[in-house]
Amino acid sequence: MRTQVAIIGAGPAGLLLSHLLHLQGIDSVVLESRDRDYVEHRQRAGVLEQGTADVLRESGVGERLDREGLVHHGVELRFGGAGHRIPLTDLTGRTVTVYAQTEMVKDLVARRLADGGEVLFEAEAVEVDPSAPSVTFRSGGELRTLHCDYVAGCDGFHGVSRPAVPGIRTFSREYPFAWLGILADVPPSTEELIYAHHDRGFALHSLRSPTVSRLYLQVRPDEDLAEWSDARIWDELAARFATDDGWKLHEGPITDRSVTPMRSFVAEPLRHDRLFLAGDAGHIVPPTGAKGLNLAVSDVIVLARAFAERYASGSETLLDGYSDAVLRRVWMTEHFSYWMTHLLHVDPAAGDFERRLQRAHLDYVVSSEAARTSLAENYVGLPITWPSGA
C-alpha cells in the first residue's frame, strides 16, 4: 500500500487532518485500531472553541453542527452559594459551541467515506518508521505495510507514534483528584455551563442537547464507581451546585458513568524526520476548560497547511516550523487548563490558608474586568500560532 500521508488514529485530529488534506488534493489513509462503532460512540469533550467550529463550517462539515450545536455566549463560575457569569461574547466578540466530540467524529467519518477516503478500522499500527516513512499495521490477523511520504501520529497518549521519536522529552503533572462523569437523560438545568467550586469538591454542569445533560464531580483518582449509586451522585451534585436563591438541579436516568484521571503532559519535539505528532499523542490537558479536543484541532490545522505548502511548492519550511509553532500554543493552553484546575478544585492536601487564598482568587476573577477578560480569551480559544512564513 502507498499514500502521501499516513495518519494513525481516527479521532477528531486524524479524521479532520485527512479531510483537510483531501480538500487540498492530498491523498491519505487513516489507520484506526478500534472498530467504527467504538470510534463513533466513545464519550469525550463537547465544547468547541469558535476556531474549531469555524474550521468545521469552512471545510464543509458543519451542517449538523449548525443545526444541533448549542452556541453559548457565557459561562458561570459558582461558589459561596452564588453564581457569577463570565460574558464571553461581550468580552471577546467570540462564542463557544456545545457539540459532542462523538457527533463531530460521526460527521467526519461520514464525510471521508462519502468522499472516497480510506479510513481503515480495526487496523492496529504496530510500528512506525519515520525515516523511510511507513507504518506497519495488523488487520484481519495479518501484518501489512503502508508506505508514504509522511506519517501523522494522531493516535493518542498510548499510541505507537510518540515512542518512535528518539530522544523525546516529556513534561507531566498528575493531579490528586479525578472526575466522575455521567450522562443523564434529563433536560439541562442550565442554559450555559456551570463551573462550581465547593468545599466538598468541584462540579461541572455541561450539556449535550436540550434533552441530555453531562455532569461531573471531583472524586479521588482511585474512586470505585460501585460506591456511587444514582441517588448518591444526584445528592452530591445538588449539594455542590446549591445556591442561596434555591436553584434546583433536574434529575433523570443516568445512562453512562466513568472516572477520568487528570494529568498535564507535553512531549517535545512534535516532529522527527517525516513523523509528526498531533493531539493527545503529543500533549494532554486536564479537562477543566475543555481544551483537549480544541488543541488537537489547532495542531492539525497548522499541519494541514504545512503539507499543502509542501505539495504545492516543494517547500518544507512550514513543516520544519510545525513543532515550535504548535508548542507555543500548547504551552499557553496547558497553563490555562492548569490554572482553571487549581482555581476550582479542592486540593486534599491544602490547608486553611491555601483555601482562603483560593477563595480570594475566585473573588478577584469575577470582580475584575481584566481577569474576566483573560479567562474569556482563553476559554473561547487563543489564536493559532503559525510557523514563520505561513
198 is catalytic: no
Q: What is the pLDDT of residue 46?
A: 85
**C-alpha dihedral, 337 to 342 to 348 to 351, nearest 10°:** 170
Q: What is the CATH number of the domain that holds 272?
A: 3.50.50.60
Q: Does residue 310 sit in helix, strand or coil?
A: helix
Report phi then psi at 245, rounded to 5. -95, 10
Residue 222 lies in a domain: no
379 is catalytic: yes
The Cα–Cα gap between 84 and 345 comes to 17
195 is catalytic: yes
Per-residue pLDDT of the chain (390 residues; tens, 9 = 90+): 999 999 999 999 999 999 999 999 999 999 999 999 999 988 777 899 999 999 999 999 999 999 999 999 999 999 999 999 999 999 999 999 999 999 999 999 999 999 999 999 999 999 999 999 999 999 999 999 999 999 999 999 999 999 999 999 999 999 999 999 999 999 999 999 999 999 999 999 999 889 999 999 999 999 999 999 999 999 999 999 999 998 999 999 999 999 999 999 999 999 999 999 999 999 999 999 899 999 999 999 999 999 999 999 999 999 999 999 999 999 999 999 999 999 999 999 999 999 999 999 999 999 999 999 999 999 999 999 999 877
Q: What is the pLDDT of residue 89?
A: 98
- Total structural domains in the chain? 1
Residue 78 lies in a domain: no
Catalytic residue among 99, 175, 216, 379: 379
One-letter amino acid at 74 equals G
Q: What is the pLDDT of residue 374?
A: 98
Catalytic residue among 188, 286, 287, 387: 287
**C-alpha grid cell, residue 148:** 508514504
38 is catalytic: no
Which of 196, 174, 19 is CA-nearest to residue 108?
Answer: 19
The Cα–Cα gap between 58 and 297 comes to 14
Residue 64 lies in a domain: yes
Catalytic residue among 19, 291, 322, 345: 291
Residue 211 lies in a domain: no
Q: What is the pLDDT of residue 313?
A: 97
Q: What is the pLDDT of residue 28?
A: 98
Q: What is the pLDDT of residue 42?
A: 83
Domain limits for position 328: 5-70+98-172+263-346
Q: What is the pLDDT of residue 34?
A: 96
Residue 82 lies in a domain: no
Q: What is the pLDDT of residue 43?
A: 72
Q: What is the pLDDT of residue 315?
A: 97
Residue 18 lies in a domain: yes
**C-alpha grid cell, residue 179:** 472526575
Catalytic residue among 99, 175, 195, 322: 195
Q: What is the pLDDT of residue 21?
A: 98
Residue 376 lies in a domain: no
272 is catalytic: no
Q: Say what the pTM is.
A: 0.95
**C-alpha grid cell, residue 5:** 500521508
Residue 134 lies in a domain: yes
Catalytic residue among 19, 22, 72, 205: 72
